[in-house]
Amino acid sequence: MISERQLATILWGMIIVVGLLCFSKQKRYLFKSLSDLIKAFYKVLTQKFALYIHIYVLCMLITLQYISLLSAETLIAYFIWIVTVLYPSIFNAISANKKPYKVSLVKQQLGINILFLFIVSNYTFNFWIEFLILLPIITFLSMLSVVSSIKEEHQSVKKLTNFLLGGIGLFILFYAIGEFVDNFKDIKDVEFWRNLAIEVYIILHLPIIYFAKLYGYYEEYKVILKIKFRSNEEKKIKITCIRIMFILKFNETKMKNGLKLIRKTKYSGLNEIIESFKNSNLEYTEMENN
């Protein structure tokens, strides 16, 4: 069943899209910018790597159908999660975050108890509170936090907005737990366990996010090697990138250090890079400790 929060999110999304389309007709430059954004997004979604992601998601949907967990409500909720959580997480992973994957991503996805995530998602305020108060406030504070993080002098504003968002988050959590306790009889309902199973099922999407992380490093290595050697031998560079990642055993810290090493070191050819990486274990240890 779609929660009040999900319904409010869908409605706000539709309002924003319609508003942008109507306003962009009056402002030609805005229409062009919006058109360029849609084209860029479409280009990203039709790349080879993105197609693998779509296939993976499709396989997940087929599996849901096979185990009789897919319904109209589940499909809508799953689609919202894909658009608002999965795809942004994938593209963030490709951009290679500062923290290693196993620390940042697993803490985010698995560090919070699945049951709490389920309770917060399904035991919400009524629609009008979600639609008119909660979502606009959270959206405004989130945007303010992002904008204030751009400049150092606005860090106090960022701390304040993050504090307020944290307080709102705790309030939502305690309210949801209270609602769950009041409606504890829901655990006798099959739909309750079906929805909880969907939350657990989401964990199975972690491998594609991890793969996206590795793909981000692969692309970085490929770009650096192309620039460094001004080479048009696409196939050799691709093979070299893959060999490097295997030599480094897909360790994120080592892959980051490898990028630094290639940038600051002069090499006569691709084979020299491979040999250098094979014999640089001690150097990587020193770099990790720094």
The encoded tokens of residue 87 equal: 């795809």
State the DSSP string of the chain.
Answer: ---HHHHHHHHHHHHHHHHHHHHHHH-HHHHHHHHHHHHHHHHHHTSHHHHHHHHHHHHHHHHHHHTT---HHHHHHHHHHIIIIIHHHHHHHHT--SS-HHHHHHHHHHSS-HHHHHHHHHS---HHHIIIIIHHHHHHHHHHHHHHTSSGGGHHHHHHHHHHHHHHHHHHHHHHHHHHHHTGGGGGSHHHHHHHHHHHHGGGGHHHHHHHHHHHHHHHHHHHHHHHHT---HHHHHHHHHHHHHHTTT-HHHHHHHHHHHHHS--SSHHHHHHHHHT-HHHHHHHHH-
Those residues with Cβ within 8 angstroms of residue 87's Cβ, 6 or more apart along the chain or in another chain? 53
Residue found by looking up tokens 């795809």 in the block: 87
- Of 21-25, 126-130, 134-138, 252-256, least confident by mean pLDDT is 21-25
- Of 22-26, 135-139, 267-271, least confident by mean pLDDT is 22-26
Q: Which has more pLDDT, 204 or 262?
A: 262
Dihedral, 212, 107, 73, 179 alpha carbons, nearest 10: -170
The encoded tokens of residue 229 equal: 């050697």
Query: Whole-angstrom Cα distance, residue 88 to residue 213?
Result: 12
Domain membership of residue 241 (yes or no) is: yes
Asked if 174 and 88 touch (Cβ cutoff 8 Å), the reply is no
Residue found by looking up tokens 């396989």 in the block: 59
Q: Which has more pLDDT, 93 or 267?
A: 267
pLDDT surpassing 60 at residue 112: no
* Stated pTM of the model: 0.61
Q: What does the pLDDT average to over 206-228?
A: 83
Q: Helix 190-201 crosses helix 72-81 at what angle (to 10 degrees)? A: 30
CA angle 279, 282, 287 (to 5 degrees): 115
Query: Whole-angstrom Cα distance, residue 23 to residue 48?
Result: 34
Domain membership of residue 255 (yes or no) is: yes
Closest CA to 199 of 84, 105, 102, 69: 69
Note down the domain range covering 267.
Answer: 209-289
Q: What is the pLDDT of residue 97?
A: 46
For 36-92, the pLDDT digits (tens) are 767 766 776 777 777 888 888 888 888 877 777 777 767 777 777 777 777 777 777
- Of 116-120, 194-198, 244-248, 262-266, least confident by mean pLDDT is 194-198
Domain membership of residue 181 (yes or no) is: no
For 142-198, the pLDDT digits (tens) are 888 877 777 777 778 888 888 998 899 889 989 988 988 888 888 887 777 777 777
Q: Domain total for the chain?
A: 1
CA neighbours closer than 13 Å in the CB half-sphere of residue 269: 4
Q: What is the pLDDT of residue 286?
A: 43
Q: What is the pLDDT of residue 10?
A: 81
Q: What is the pLDDT of residue 119?
A: 80
Q: What is the pLDDT of residue 102?
A: 47
Domain membership of residue 36 (yes or no) is: no
Burial class (CB in 10 A: 0-12, 13-18, 19+), 215: middle
Q: What does the pLDDT average to over 233-253?
A: 84
- Of 66-80, 232-246, 266-280, least confident by mean pLDDT is 66-80
